[in-house]
Amino acid sequence: MSYYDGIAKKWHEITGFRGGAFKRLVLNGFLLDRIPDIAGWAILELGAGNGYFMPMVLERFSGQTPERFVITDMSSKLLHIAQRSFRIPEAEYRQVDVRAGFPFDSGSFDLILATMVFNEVSDSAMKKALSECRRVLGETGTLLLTVTHPRFVESLHRRGETRQDRNGLLTMPAADGIRLPIFRRSQERYEAMLRRAGFMFESHDVHALPEVLREKPGLRSAGNVPLALVFRCRIAR
- Closer residue to ligand SAM, CB minimum distance, 70 or 74: 74
- Binding mask 95-114 toward ligand SAM (x if CB under 6 A, else -) reads -xxxx---------------
Phi, psi of 38 (to 5 degrees): -135, 0
Using rule CB under 6 A, residue 133 touches ligand SAM? no
Among 121, 182, 230, 233, the residue binding ligand SAM under the rule CB under 6 A is 121
Among 78, 136, 230, 233, the residue binding ligand SAM under the rule CB under 6 A is 78
- Closer residue to ligand SAM, CB minimum distance, 2 or 131: 2
- Say if CB 145 and CB 233 are below 8 A apart: yes
- Say if CB 74 and CB 9 are below 8 A apart: no
- Closer residue to ligand SAM, CB minimum distance, 99 or 127: 99
Using rule CB under 6 A, residue 21 touches ligand SAM? no
Q: Single out the segment in contact with ligand SAM by CB under 6 A; choices: 85-93, 115-123, 197-205, 227-235.
A: 115-123
Residue 74 CB coordination number (10 Å): 21
Among 4, 102, 152, 199, the residue binding ligand SAM under the rule CB under 6 A is 4
- Closer residue to ligand SAM, CB minimum distance, 63 or 230: 230
Using rule CB under 6 A, residue 150 touches ligand SAM? no
- Say if CB 216 and CB 22 are below 8 A apart: yes
**Interface positions with ligand SAM (CB under 6 A):** 2, 4, 15, 19, 47-49, 73-75, 78, 96-99, 115-117, 120-121, 180
